[in-house]
Each structure stands twice: as structure tokens, then as C-alpha cells.
Structure 1
Amino acid sequence: MSALNVGQQIHDFRVDAFLKSMYGYEQTYLATSVQEEHKKVLLKLYDVMEFPSRQLSEGGTLMEGNIRNEMYHWFAPIHLYDTVLLDGKEYHCLVREYIESKRLSDLLAEGKRYSWDEAMPIIHQVLNGLSCLHRQERAIIHNDMTPRNILLYESREHETKVYIIGTGHLSYRRSGVASFPTDDLNPWYRAPETYTGMYDEQSDLFSVGALLYEMLTGKAPWQTELPDCFCDTRLYKKIVKKAREAELLFPEELMLTDEQQNTLKKALALDYEKRYYNVEAFKKGLDGEIAVVEKTSPIPVEQENASSWDEKIKKADRKRICRCSRNGGGETDIL
């Protein structure tokens, strides 16, 4: 049941439509500014009592509130408002500007393919956006870098520009247990270590490598068919792990150089220690340069249960059922 009705006003916005409800504590609406009638926004409410505390930032606010002014060049502007009381329930309130744009996932579904040179401006913008998150005093990880969370629009100079969305999975570095729901993550974009609960800068970079691969080929790396409906998380892991035993293929029609192939292989290295270790190293790899920055292993923050994903599954006397991750939908599918 939605907390808001069409036509109802909350803060400076009038509700136009209810879009979706997720996780039992999150609701998303399309709304219009009452002060600027042409301005559309996505408005999200989070039930304060039901919202997991581990998904809050250090200041006790929503992690998405870390998307600040200096990041608006790459991230759709997000604004946090005071909590609201509706029918006796208190809600966090977040508003994201609605962007006239096209999802990269929609373009790929329509058959769009990119050459290496065409993909580079987009990938570099994505990396610049991630760099803003990773370079915070306490590094922030995106955790859901897929084509559905990349919006493309044309600038006044007729250049393709990127907005990154999908900030509902933001977290600090994690080791042991994810601080956010993982059921809706695309399994082909997940770095191997995330299946054991480790999320950091390098897992984000793996996802960007997968993003580049799909822009070139139309499929995520190692992608095979997954069950259509609901499936056990253990089965996802098994299918993905098995598929990744095969060599990563580069179709001849892509005409990639050996250097370009090696760059992608390093970005998608299943061995954490062999992958690009930060954004700058990845960018130098893309540009054909040799990274000169010494590697420093990130120190995981908020380490919790060190037991592996498999061990936790064995101890749990139940099945964790998740829905299949799918690309697609319109711009309003996810904040």
C-alpha cells in the first residue's frame, strides 16, 4: 500500500504517480515541483522503522545523501529532505531530479554496439564519477554499476554525457556481510569476491570492465542463460562460477588490438590481486599507459563475520530466494 496519493503534496512536490515498492520499506513516486511546473522528480520514501540501520551513513542519514554538489557533473542531483510523518509512520524523504535521457541498457537492448573508440568517452566519464565516490575521506562504493544505471544525454555542445544513477546500493567498504540488499544485483556484473561479502573499489572496477565488454559485444562477460523466474542464490553463484571457468572471448569482428584485449582481461581478472586497483590505474590502462602508482591494499571498514558466503548458506536452515536480475525498463525503474 502506497503512503502517498496522486495529487498529494509533500514538501515542495506534488505526486503524479506511484511507481514501485521494494524491500518492504522503500516506495518510489513520480512528482512535480509546485514552484517549477516543468520540473519532474523521482521521490523516494523509506520507512524509518523498517529501514536497515547498516545502510545509513556515519551521520545517520541515507547513504545517497553523500552525492553532493561537487559530484553533480556525473551523478543525477539528489536532495535529502526532513523526515515526514504519514499515517503514524515516519519516513526518510529523498528527491532525485528526473533526467531527460536514455538508459544505456535500453540502447544495448535495441541493438546498439560501440567500437572501442566510441565507448571510451562514456567509460572515462563513468570512471570519473566513481573516482568522486572512492576518493571521499571514507571511500564510498557504488556496488551496482550496470547499463541500467547509466543515463546518456546530449549536451549543448552535442557531446554524449553520462549521469550515474542506481545509488540505492551505496556503501562503505564491506568485508563479510553486505549492508544492502543483493538480490537485485546483476550476477554477471558482480566481482567474484562479492559472493563472499567483500565490496570495495576493485569490485566496482570489475563492474566497469563488464560494462565496457557489453558495450562492445552486446552481452556481459561469460553471460549464459539464467532461470527465468525465482531461483536459489546458491544456484546463481554456481552458474556464474562455472561460466567463468571458460576463457574470456573477444569476437574477431570487434577488431580489438592485443593491448585492448589485455586491458579488458585485467579489468575482469577473477583474481582480485591481478585486477586494476584504482580508477587511475584503470584509466592509464585504457589509454595505453603503464600505471606507476604503487599498489596499496584497501583496508576493509566495518569487518563483520569473516565466514564465507558458502558457510553462511550452509548454516542457514532456509533457502534465500531472489528474483532474477534483468536489464531494462524505463528511466524510472530505479533511483
Structure 2
Amino acid sequence: MSKGTVLISGLNGYIAAVTAKHFLDNDYKVRGTVRRLASAESLTTGPLMKYAESGALEVVEVPDITVDGAFDEAVKGVTGIAHLATPVAFDFPDGPEPVMKAAIQGTQTILNSALKAGPQLKSFVVLSSIAAVRNLTPPPYTFTEKDWNDFAEPMVMQNGKDTPGFMIYVASKAAAEKAFWAWRDEKKPSFAMSALNPVFVIGPALIPPKSPAEVGGTVKPVFDIFSGNPWPPADAPIVAGLGHIVDVRDVAAQTEYAIAHPKEVDGERYISYASVATAQSIADILRKAFPEAMGRIAEGTPGQGYNKDYTLFDKTKEQDIDGSKGKKLLPGGEYIPHEQSIIDTAKNLAHLV
């Protein structure tokens, strides 16, 4: 018996694909949206083929998520919605305006369609980001779900096209989640609404990248260290990964919990944060797990610069994050162990080394 049908936007994305498999493995039906049907073929003919053939997985095309009514057909009959379609890029040649528009209108559009889904819709989960939480409060400080990014949007408005790409991305995430909650306050829907705010997401992709160029930005530090490339590379962007991390499989599990427990999560934000990774801790873990690769993985200074429990090394000099609330949404109430997450990420990339 199916537990219901969950709509997952952006099915072919890194987090969304893993999340879709999690739902399918746990007896849900999934309707996934993509901009072009062809972009889902690697999933429906690959790791999700048995679900596509059985009818448990349905893929629908939504070419432009900002168009009014874009999701009207896709939402019909669903019991849950996980809005996971979100671009992760730091290069915006056209400036912030189209990015901000897509982030805000894309969220509002699917919410407006959700009102037409029917009374069987019980829960709507949006994938936000820690970028919508962190602000410029100086350390020592620990961010919780009560905190909001209050600097990125004013910076974008002030600097326009001169705004650094990463800051445009941060502003778009903060604006999209604020629009999400403003919509809830105005429309007062019958279905529950909640937000997940993950930090940098690592872990094995459902479809491993076919080339180094396809390696996602948040897992690239693991790939570079595993393959023997210098980290950070000379052309590293302002934000170079590492730091606070969470496993993609934990984000998937948290999404499923939120869909399955609408009354509990309604109106809540949940930070997804498991541990802190440094170049040295990653190198130490990988050198131990893959002794045959010790010749290429830089040794550095083993054991230095990180805590053995992979928490923040010096809370007096850096901002910390509290992920304990999000932990309650996980099976057993614990995040995937740090070492396992790093090792499984490397195994997912080993064919490229």
C-alpha cells in the first residue's frame, strides 16, 4: 500500500534525486518535475527504473517554474509537496534581478498551485538553506532556527550587478524563504508548511558524475583531496566548501519525516547540520580508508586543526550552528557519522580518480 503521492520539484537535482529514491524505497509514490523530460532519462532508465516501470514514479515537465499555474497539473492528487528545485550557482552574468525573481516567484507559484491540489494535501516542505539563517553576528555565536540573514538582500539592492555571485545566491535563498513564510501568513493554508535549512551537503549522488567537471561544488573538496589536487585550488571561489556539512541522505530522511508528520512540523524551520570538515580531517579519513591512495592524498599534519568529534574547532573565533532540532527528524535521532559520509562520498567519485 502506498503512503501517498509526493510531488518533488527539480527531480534531476542532486538532493532531489536522492530524496526521490528515499521516498520510493519507503513505499511512497513520487511525481517529479523537471524542465525537460529528457533530463530525467538517466534516472528513469537507471537507478529509478523499476519505480518508473511499476508506475510508482511519474515524471512531468514544468518548463518554467515562475509562470503562474505552472504546477497546477502536477499538484493534482498529491498528499505532500517537497519543493527542492533550486539552482546552486555563484556566477550570474545578468546580475541579481533574474535570480531573485526566479527564487521568489518560483516559490510563490508552486504554493499557489498547492492551494488547488485538493484536501488530501497535508504537508509542504521547502528546501531553503543555512544561507537564509546566517548573518553577521560576530563570534562567539551559535546560529539556531530563530536567526535570519538580514544583510544579503540590502547588499544586493545597494550594489546591483556589482554584487559578488555568492552573495546574490545567498540573498536569493533568504528572499525565497521569507516569501514562503509571508505566503503562509497571508493565505493560511490547510496544509502544513515547514522549511529545511541545510549547510553544505555532501554524500553519494544517486547518479555519480561522469567527469570531474560534473562534480558538485559542495562535494568538490572531497574529490580534490581524494584525487590529490591542491585544496583549495588557486581559482577557488569565495566559499570553497568544507566547514559545516550534512549528508544528502540525512536531508532526504528529514524531508520524508516532515511530509509524514504535518502537525508536528507545521510552521517550523529545521537546520540540517551534522559535523565540521576540514581539509586535514578529510585527508586523514581518506588516507586511512583507502591505503592504496595514500601516495596521492596529501598527508598534511595528521590530527591537527580539528576536533576528534568533528565539531567546530574554535568557537571563540568562528560562528557555530546548532543542528540539534533537525536531528529529531532522523531515524534514531542521529546524523550519519562524519567518517561514513566522507568515505561514501569518495567511493561515489572513485571512478574519476
Same-fold status (TM-score > 0.5): no
Structure (1 or 2) with the greater helix fraction = 2
Structure (1 or 2) with the greater strand fraction = 1
Q: TM-score of the superposition, structure 1-length normalised? A: 0.31
